[in-house]
Amino acid sequence: MYTILICDDDKDIVSALDIYLTSEGYRTLKAYNGREAIRAVEQNEVHLILMDVMMPELDGIRATAKLREGNNVPIILLTAKSEDADKILGLNIGADDYITKPFNPLEVMARVKSQLRRYTSLGGADKGPGLLTVGPITMDDGAKRVTVDGEPVALTPIEYNVLKLLLSHPGQVFSSAQIYEQVWNDPAYGSENTVAVHIRHLREKIEIDPADPRYLKVVWGLGYKLEEGVR
């Protein structure tokens, strides 16, 4: 049984999400500010977090940043429509997705299930040997391990799956929409910023100079590709 942490200072929202999630068979934990969320993750095995952005004591952005120091559990931000800057900031510091309030329960369930599939597949059973290599970047998909020049690199589930897509098709250009549809399993409406943020995260982890990437390249007006890096 998966455990989902619901963190929002609005108790009615927490109660509503609790009803939706428990009716689908999930176990839930509740928190009402970022400090309580961090404490809950430290004391329990949590498989996914629904995190409000605007909260007292410690907001969702800072709580997400703190959690990302040592935990790759999927985090879905709960944001108001007016919080576009917070959505981008949240993705920048490690959130995996966001849901805009007021939310549709069916959308919440779809995004929760999608993130859990990616998270459990990343840490799941060995699916057999399979090494993907481009330049110094190697992915052992059986062991779910990525190295750059032999050094291990810690990736979130989203980052892992974006990199896997590009590693599986070296030199092929993927548009933001194609990446979003294949990795997020959702229609790619307005996906450009979300994909760009995760590409930037990947560059910071696999490139010597993220500002002048050698391997993970942008093809202006078309999308992104991974190449050997020969100059």
Task: Give residue limits of the domains in the chain.
Answer: 3-122, 131-226
CATH class entry, domain 3-122: alpha beta
Write the CATH number of the domain with boundaries 131-226: 1.10.10.10
Q: What is the predicted pLDDT for the residue at 122?
A: 56
Q: What is the predicted pLDDT for the residue at 229?
A: 64
Q: What is the predicted pLDDT for the residue at 128?
A: 39
Q: What is the predicted pLDDT for the residue at 40?
A: 95
CATH topology match: 3-122 vs 131-226: no
Q: What is the predicted pLDDT for the residue at 224?
A: 95
Q: What is the DSSP string of 147-185?
A: EETTEE----HHHHHHHHHHHHSTT--B-HHHHHHHHH-
Question: Distance between CA 188 and CA 129 in Å, rounded?
Answer: 32
Which residues are registered as beta bridge partners of 3?
27
Q: Which residue has the tokens 């290599």?
A: 133
Contact 78, 99 (CB under 8 A): yes
Cβ neighbours, 10 Å, residue 125: 8
- Positive or negative, the CA dihedral 172, 125, 106, 52 is negative
Residues of the chain with pLDDT under 70: 81, 83, 120-130, 229-231
| Tens of pLDDT, residues 186-211 | 887 777 889 999 999 999 999 989 98
